[in-house]
Amino acid sequence: MTILMIEQNARSALEITDIGIVLELGRTRIVDNAASILDDPRIGQLFLDGAMEENAA
């Protein structure tokens, strides 16, 4: 079963999902399993610094 969940608390959402998709300004930046997204240092950059570098995706 596929469920689309849009959630502000990304950590909580990724802890209960299998696959995550990270969007920035309407563009897909990361598609991976949830555990990998939680461990990805680019996520901190995206949400703390405000943008990802183009070559990081």
Predicted local distance difference test score (pLDDT) of residue 8: 81
d(Cα 34, Cα 52) in Å, to the nearest integer? Answer: 19
* SS3 (DSSP) at 12: helix
The candidate with the shortest Cα–Cα distance to 45, out of 27, 33, 34, 30, is: 30
β-partners of residue 22 are 30
Predicted local distance difference test score (pLDDT) of residue 13: 87
Token pair of 45, please? 């950059």
Write out pLDDT tens, residues 1-57.
888 888 888 888 888 999 999 888 888 988 999 999 988 888 877 765 555 555 544
Predicted local distance difference test score (pLDDT) of residue 54: 56
What is the residue-wise DSSP string for 29-47?
A: EEEEEHHHHHH-HHHHIII
